Amino acid sequence: MKKIAILFSLVNLGLFTGGCESFVDIKTQGSLVPKDVTNYRYLLNNTSAYETGIILGDLASDDIAIVDAAQQTSLLNISYSYYKNTYTWQDDIFPLSTSYENDTDWNTMYARIFRTNTIISELPTSNGPETDKAKLMAEALVHRADAYLTLVNQYGKPYNATTASSDLGVPLLLTQTFSQSLNRASVETVYQQILTDLKQALPNLLATQQYNTLPSKPSAYGLLARTYLYMNNYKMAEAYADSALALRSTLNNMATMTATSTFPKRINDPEILLSKIAAYGTSAYTPTAMRLSDDLLSLFDANDQRYNLFTVPASRVSSTYTGRYFYREIITGENRNLGPSVPEMMLIKAESLARA
C-alpha cells in the first residue's frame, strides 16, 4: 500500500507540473523567468510544502493517555481510526477498503522529497550566480535529510549498528524521476544518505536566516546532533550539539510569562533551529485532544511554567473528560514545533555527557 501512496502523491505533482510546462517555456515580463535561479528561491519559500511534519509518533508515545470512556467512544468513528490504531500499536494503522486509508505522514514526507529532488536536479543548470545556487541547494538538502530522518524512524527499525545494514528502512528516492525502484533501502543506507546531505549542505548554509522555516547552519548542526543521537554515537552527537549551541543558544525566559503573555511566534522563536510542525492542526480539540499521562505529569513541579502555561484541566476541553491536557497550541495559536531546538541540543549534550 505504501507504493500506491507514493505513486499517488507523485503523479498528482507530475500532473500539476506537466500541465504547466507549455506556459513556463515562455518568458514573461513578471518576476518569474524560466530556468532562472530565483524561481527556486520562491519554491523554497513555500513554507507549507517544507514545514508540515508528522503526527503518528505523538499518538504512539507514552506521553498521552486515552482513558476516558467518552473520548474512547468518539474515537470509534472511522475517521479517527488512525488515532486509535496508532495509540494501541496495531499492525494496520489505516483501515482497508475505506476512503480513510491515507497515511498523511508518509505522503507529506515523500511529497517534500519530490520537491527537493526537483530543486536539487534542476538547480545546477539554472541561470544565475553560482553562490546563489549553492545556498539554495544546501537548503533543499537539509529539508530532504529531515524528511528521511523522520521517515526512517517512523517506518523502519531503530538504528542498531550490528543490524542496520540488513534492517529495512524506507524507499530512498534521490532523483527527479517517476521510474525509480520503490524497494526499501536498509536503515544504514538511509542514515548514511541523511549524513551525506547534511554535511554537503553545511558549507553553503547561512549562519542565520530571517525566519526559522529556512534552513541555516544551526539547523544542519541540530539535525546532525539528532541523527547521531539516534545512531547511539554520543561523541558525534555532543560535538554537533555544541556546534549548534555555539551559533544559537538563547532560551525563552518563561519565568516572566503569564497565561496571557505573547509567546514568541514560531518563525521568530529564538529557541527553534528549524521550524517543523505537527500535522493535522491543533491537538486540543475533542475527540483528538491529548490527555497527558500520569507518568509525564509526575515529572513537573507545581511551579513549572511549562505545566502552568501549556496544560489545562480537562474541563477546558470537555465536561466529560478527566485529567490534564496539552493546550499550548490553543494558547499560542500555532502548531507545536517538531524541529531541532536549543533545549533539545542541551538535552543531547547532557545525554552524551552522561553516556561518557
Residue pair 332/278 in contact by the 8 Å Cβ criterion = no
Percent of the chain scoring above 70 in pLDDT: 87
174 vs 261, more confident: 174
Q: Residue 100: its pLDDT value, please?
A: 64
Q: Residue 31: its pLDDT value, please?
A: 57
Rg for the chain (alpha carbons), in Å?
21
Q: Residue 246: how many CA atoms within 13 Å on its side-chain side?
A: 10
Alpha-carbon span 74 to 83, nearest angstrom: 11
Q: Which of 11-25, 115-129, 160-174, 323-337 has the lowest mean pLDDT?
A: 11-25
Instruction: For the full predicted model, state whether its pTM sits above 0.75.
Output: yes
Cell of 338: 517538531
Cα separation values, 121 from 137, 224, 239, 254, Å = 9, 23, 31, 44
Region 271-296: what's the mean pLDDT? 89
What is the SS3 assignment for 24-45?
HCCCCCCCCCCCECHHHHHHHC
Residue with cell 505522514: 105
- The dihedral built from the CA positions of residue 263, 265, 268 and 270, taken in this order, carries a sign that is positive
- 22: how many CB neighbours lie within 10 A of its CB? 8
Alpha-carbon span 106 to 98, nearest angstrom: 18
309 vs 231, more confident: 231
Cell of 248: 544559537
DSSP 289-300: --BBPHHHHTTS
Residue pair 326/283 in contact by the 8 Å Cβ criterion = yes
Nearest 5 degrees, angle CA 119-CA 121-CA 125? 95
Q: Residue 266: its pLDDT value, please?
A: 92
- Taking only the tens place, the pLDDT of each residue in 319-342 is 999 999 999 888 888 889 999 999
Q: Residue 303: its pLDDT value, please?
A: 87
Cell of 63: 506521553
Residue pair 319/68 in contact by the 8 Å Cβ criterion = no
Domain limits, the chain: 1-22+35-62+91-186
| pLDDT band (50, 70, 90) for residue 275 | very high
Alpha carbon 317 to chain centroid, angstroms: 26
Alpha-carbon span 255 to 278, nearest angstrom: 26
- 41: how many CB neighbours lie within 10 A of its CB? 14
22 pLDDT above the threshold of 70: no
Q: Residue 95: its pLDDT value, please?
A: 74
Residue pair 285/75 in contact by the 8 Å Cβ criterion = no
